[in-house]
Amino acid sequence: MHDLRSFLDRVRSERAPEMVEVHREVQPRYETTAILTQFERRMRSPVLLFRNIAGATFPVVTNVCGSRGRLALAMGCPLGDLGRTFRERCARPMPPEVASTGPVHENVRLGTDVDLRALPQMVYHQDDSPHPYITAAMVVVRDPESRRANLSYHRLMIVVARKTGIFMEHGHLLEVFQKHVRAGRDMPIAVILGAHPLWSLGALYSGPADVEEYDIIGGLQGRPLETVNCLTCPDLLAPSRAEFTLEGSVSINERIEEGPFGEFTGVSSGKTSSPAFNVGAMTYRNDAIFQDIVSGHAEHLLLPSLGLEARLLSVARTVVKHVRGIGMPVPLTIVVSIEKSDNNEPRRLIEKLLDCGIHVKHVVITDASVDPGNLRQVLTAVSLNTQADRDVYIYGNQQGSPCDPSALENGQTAKMGIDGTLSQSGNRSVAANAVPKEILDAVNIDAILRG
């Protein structure tokens, strides 16, 4: 059975060092971020389960998906097969099953009984808005025209007891919202809190609007997701075994000042004006666990990278016959390693990829010998192979992410591609420094260390 709790139990029993439970009282303002930061400085990225968050009755779990190893555990595949397994399972979608009720409806608060201040009031960074945020919020909506459901993550800023702001930077939810604006109707949504990692990866699947992320979750699980109809918007489905749901509607008229907020870029996105989400119902399981994602840390970058890399890989393969790998080692930069067949191929690939949305700002192409996740190898290839007046391509006036601090407020940006492959004509012939293989293989370090 897939849910957040069963996954935490698995980590506890199979990866004990990756599950850190904190029993002493911890402040929701800055302290959970500080604790995760100190683990990351020690090159560790465990699940952190805070049993006692000041002012809250619910425990907080954060960094559930903070390592590729745990994503592979959730997927049930070897670490090295994570990307391929994800792509293969996404290609076998399965629609959800619907039941009339489930554990997520064990506790129900309706109307004026809803109080978001009963949730842990998380604040991450010192320059953030003093208003608490809900960061691990999976938003479900149904397109009023196509009737397709959509899932995506959106930050929610708690304003008062039954109101949040909702940040829609891009994507299908924003498109569905614009349809509601044109039709003059508020947009019903459900927010899911507390998810199995495969639900999170499914929600972040990066594909066309007519692919329902719930079906992708079924594919990732290898069995349909069990869902229930939401109580106040029965048109929408929520996972039966989610920890919480919030139901309500996003106003087409009411906007609130939202942010500043430290984003996935690692820097603050500043103040914005975002639509208001008015909450009409809150449901939760007995002993509910509040899931959290510390903004701008490893988990925040890692979670969407699988979906984005899978989509960009399939685009890249329409241009280049042999793509070795793809990676997003830092925000907004994509690296693709290829075996090129002619000198124009990198440029064609760059142009195709830069067209793939606001989160692709810089593209670096390397030869197949380079591991796209290894920044040292990538930058070495750029240093040694690139002649800037020949191999760097710049495109002005593009649509980028408003979270990019060097872009204009509306996200207008320049984009850049760097061809870091060895030129087939221009470069002098090169040989990587190496020693003969038989001599390398014959070295017995253990024997040498023993003296």
Ligand X SMILES: Cc1cc2nc3c(=O)[nH]c(=O)nc-3n(C[C@H](O)[C@H](O)[C@H](O)COP(=O)(O)O)c2cc1C
C-beta of residue 413 within 8 angstroms of C-beta of residue 400: yes
Q: Which is nearer to ligand X, 304 or 325 (CB)?
A: 304
Q: At what angle do helices 82-90 and 298-316 cross, to 10 degrees?
A: 70
Q: Does 204 bind ligand X (CB under 6 A)?
A: yes
**Both tokens of residue 166?**
């909702």
Please answer whether residues 365 and 421 qualify as being in contact, where contact means their C-beta atoms are separated by less than 8 angstroms. yes
Q: What DSSP string runs through 248-264?
A: EEEEEEEEEEE---B-T
Minimal distance, residue 139 CB to ligand X, in Å: 8
Token pair for residue 335?
């690296």
- 135 touches which of ligand X, Mn ion, none (CB within 5 to 8 A by kind)? ligand X
Q: How many residues bind ligand X (CB under 6 A)?
A: 20
Interface with Mn ion in residues 218-237 (CB under 5 A): none
293 binds, among ligand X, Mn ion, none (CB under 5 to 8 A by kind): ligand X
Q: Using CB under 6 A, which of the segments 50-58, 122-130, 169-177, 407-415 binds ligand X? A: 169-177
Of 166 and 365, CB closest to ligand X: 166
Tell which one of 32, 45, 135, 150 touches Mn ion (CB under 5 A).
150
Residue 304 binds which entry of ligand X, Mn ion, none, CB below 5-8 Å type-dependent = ligand X
- Considering only residues 264 to 293 of the shown chain, the ones binding ligand X according to CB under 6 A are 293
Residue 135 lies near ligand X (rule: CB under 6 A): yes
Q: Which of 131, 142, 300, 340 is the binder for ligand X (CB under 6 A)?
A: 300
Q: Where are the beta strands (DSSP E) in 297-438?
A: 322-330, 333-339, 362-367, 392-399, 412-419
| Strand-pair partners of 192 | 138, 245
Look up residue 229 and give its amino acid.
Answer: N
What are residue 346's phi and psi, to 5 degrees?
A: -55, -40
Candidates 216, 242, 252, 303: give the one binding ligand X (CB under 6 A). Answer: 303
Closest contact distance (angstroms) between CB of 169 and Mn ion is 14
Least Cα distance to 307 among 207, 192, 171, 197 occurs for 207
297 binds Mn ion (CB under 5 A): no
DSSP of 343-359, one letter per residue?
TTHHHHHHHHHHTS-TT
Out of 155, 196, 285, 415, name the contact with ligand X by CB under 6 A.
155
By Cβ distance, which residue is nearest to ligand X? 171
Which of 172, 285, 297, 415: binder of Mn ion (CB under 5 A)?
Answer: 172
Tell me the closest approach of the beta carbon of residue 5 to ligand X, in angstroms: 20
Closest CA to 21 of 13, 30, 12: 12
CA angle 313, 314, 317 (to 5 degrees): 85
Biggest distance spanned by C-alpha atoms of the chain: 80
Q: Does 171 bind ligand X (CB under 6 A)?
A: yes
Write the CB contacts of 85 (distance below 8 Å, at least 6 apart in sequence).
75, 77
CB of 324 to ligand X, least distance (A): 25
362 interface partner picked from Mn ion, ligand X, none, CB below 5 to 8 A per type: none
- Three-state DSSP class for residue 35: helix
Q: Which does 63 bind (CB under 5 to 8 A by kind): ligand X, Mn ion, none?
A: none
When binding is defined by CB under 6 A, the residue of 33, 121, 152, 164 that contacts ligand X is: 152
CA distance 260 to 167: 11
Q: Which residues bind Mn ion (CB under 5 A)?
A: 150, 172
Q: Which residues bind ligand X (CB under 6 A)?
A: 135, 150, 152-155, 167-173, 204, 206, 293, 300, 303-304, 307
